[in-house]
Amino acid sequence: MSCPYGRLEAMNRQARGQLTKSSIIDAALELFEAGGYEATTMRAIAEKAEVSLGSAYYYFDSKEHLIQGFYVRAGDEQNAVVPGRVAGVSDLAARLIIFIDAWVEIMAKYRAFAAAFFRSAANPQSPLSPFSPESAPARAVGIDLLRRVIDGSDAELPEAIRDELPELIWLYHMGVVLFWVYDGSEDSQATRLLVRRTVPLLTAAISLAQLPALRSMITDLMALVGDLKLLLTAPAASAS
C-alpha cells in the first residue's frame, strides 16, 4: 500500500517547483520591462528570482524557453476572462472578437518588451515560434479555448471543417498577433479595428462553406492546411 506521507511530500515538491517556476517568470518579466528582452541574461533573471543559476536552467533551458512559460501564463489569463465575457453571447463573430480583444488587453501590460520576442518568433527555427515543439503547450491552450468559444455559438458549422476550425482561427489569430507587433497606434486601436473588420468576413466565409459548390474547395483548403502544418512543425532536416 502506498504511503500517504510520500504522496504528500511529492505534492509539496510539485507545488514548490511551480512556485519557483512562477517566481522565475515574474523576475524575467520585470527585467524585460526594465532593460529589454535582448539585454536580459539568465544570470540576472536567476538573481532577481533569488534562485541559483542552475535552478533557473533546471526549469528553463534558455531565455527563449522561459518565454514559453510566459505564453502559457498569458493563455491562462485569457482562459480566466473569456468564458465570462462570452457568456450569453451567441453570435460567433462577437465571441471571436471578445476572444482576441481579451488577448490584446492582457498583452498591453507587456507591450514594452513583448514585441521584441514576438519578432524573434518569426524565425521558424526559434523555440519562440508558435509552430515549434516548445510552443505546443501554449498552442494547445489557445486552440482549446477557441474550440469552447466556437462551440458556444449558434453558428451552423459545416461538418467538413468543424473539427479543424479552432486551429484555422488560431492561425488567423497569429496573423493578428503579427499585425499587433508593428501596431504603433494608441491602445492598439489599429489592431482592434482590423479585428472588427475582418472577423465578420471570416465568419461569413465559414457560413458559405455549407454551399455544395464550395465543398470541394473547403476540402482542398483543409488538406493544404494539414500539409502546411506538418511542414511547419517537422524538425528541420540536418544539413548534408
Asked which of 64-78, 87-101, 119-133, 193-207 is least confident by mean pLDDT, the reply is: 119-133
pLDDT at residue number 191: 96
Domains of the chain: 1-60 (1.10.10.60), 64-233 (1.10.357.10)
Banded pLDDT at 236 (limits 50, 70, 90): very low
CA neighbours closer than 13 Å in the CB half-sphere of residue 168: 19
Give pTM, 2 decimals.
0.78
pLDDT at 69 over 90: no
Banded pLDDT at 237 (limits 50, 70, 90): very low
- Compute how many other C-beta atoms are within 10 angstroms of the C-beta atom of residue 60: 21
Cell numbers standing for residue 171: 492561425
Cα-to-chain-centroid distance, residue 166? 13
Contacts 24+ apart (CB under 8 A), 148-153: 148/83, 149/82, 149/86, 149/95, 149/96, 149/98, 149/99, 150/92, 150/95, 150/96, 152/86, 152/90, 152/95, 153/90, 153/91, 153/92, 153/95
Give the C-alpha distances (Å, rounded to integers) separating 68 from 124, 151, 165.
Answer: 15, 27, 24
Torsion over CA of 221, 179, 149 and 166, rounded to 10 degrees? 20
Angle between helix 92-108 and helix 136-151 axes, rounded to 10 deg:
140
pLDDT at 2 over 80: no
